[in-house]
Amino acid sequence: MVSSMTGFGRADFQADDCRVSAELRSVNHRFLEVSPRIPRSLAALEPRVVDLVKGAITRGKVNVTLELEGQVSGAAGLSVDETVAERYLEIAEELKTRYNLDGSLDIQTFIGLPSVISREESDLTEETAWALIRPPLEEAVEALKSMRRREGAALARDLRDRVEAIASAVDRVAERVPLVVEQAKTRLADRLAEISEDAEYNRFRLEAEMTFFADRADITEECVRLRSHCEQFAQFMDADEPAGRRLKFLLEEMHREVNTIGSKGQNPEISREVIFMKEEVEKIREQVLNIE
């Protein structure tokens, strides 16, 4: 099955006074890389987050963002140290009086002073926190996979069209093989007519020319292999497991066969077909880079 490596998934979960949100974004990557960004108070859960994503995704760079709002995140655990706050105010008034200063201490600056506001450590256990985080994380992962599958389906349609176009070009090339062989025979006969009348010399030149002809003129095997690669390409896309790496390898084989056909099929029409097939292979290569 073809699945894209590009996607997005998000889910929210509400429990009592706590709201948890999970967001995943993925882009192309040669391997699988999971980069989590979670609240500091839940840092102990990072390995579990990574393992859950790796259990569902095989390739791509996946950025995971988890956010918590409410009591669990510590918002209800904020407290004011009134002693420190009053001392700051006393010092501010003393400085104004001593140095004849103007102005006042605004609230935004005041609450940002060290130790005025303190955060109480949450007594949330790791298992309880995981029970809150896991549902939205799993839902976001499924949303990400669903989007990647939709993107993959669009890629697959485009790839099938291009592979079928290559297969059709191979058929057109194969139809011209007898003509190419006949043209090669004509060229061979013309060259032999120019060879010296020496019998021994003629024999060795004839053997050399026939060997060259047999190697250069017949591209039937290359056409057969390229057709087979096109069929395999479609089979890999229909398989249940991720196809990206195998399609990339198969493309290299297809490119090699197209190059061989181009070098052996000395014919203008075949050359045009080879150029077309090379262009299609290159377009497919760009698309395959985004397949999981």
In a domain, 1, yes or no: no
pLDDT for res 66: 94
pLDDT for res 204: 65
Looking at the structure of the chain, the number of domains it has is: 3
In a domain, 2, yes or no: no
For residues 195 and 202, what is the distance between their CA atoms, to the nearest angstrom? 7
pLDDT for res 52: 97
pTM score of the predicted model:
0.69
In a domain, 192, yes or no: yes
In a domain, 209, yes or no: yes
251 shares a domain with 191: yes
pLDDT for res 4: 94
Q: Which domain holds residue 222?
A: 150-288
138 shares a domain with 163: no
In a domain, 164, yes or no: yes
70: left (phi over 0), alpha (psi -120 to 50) or beta: left
182 shares a domain with 57: no
**For residues 185 and 213, is the Cβ–Cβ distance under 8 A?**
yes
Confidence of residue 69 (pLDDT cuts 50, 70, 90): confident
- Helix, strand, or coil here: 27? strand
185 shares a domain with 274: yes
85 shares a domain with 203: no
21 compared with 108, residue with greater pLDDT? 21
Residue 118 reports pLDDT greater than 80: no
Q: Each residue of 22-50: pLDDT tens digit?
A: 999 999 998 999 999 998 878 889 999 99
105 shares a domain with 57: no
pLDDT for res 76: 44
Q: CA nearest 7: which of 34, 28, 37?
A: 28
Q: Each residue of 209-264: pLDDT tens digit?
A: 656 665 666 788 899 999 999 999 999 998 888 889 999 999 999 999 999 998 88
For residues 278 and 226, what is the distance between their CA atoms, to the nearest angstrom? 12
Tokens found for residue 177: 């093989």
Residue 134 reports pLDDT greater than 70: yes
86 compared with 265, residue with greater pLDDT? 86
Residue 135 reports pLDDT greater than 90: yes
pLDDT for res 288: 93
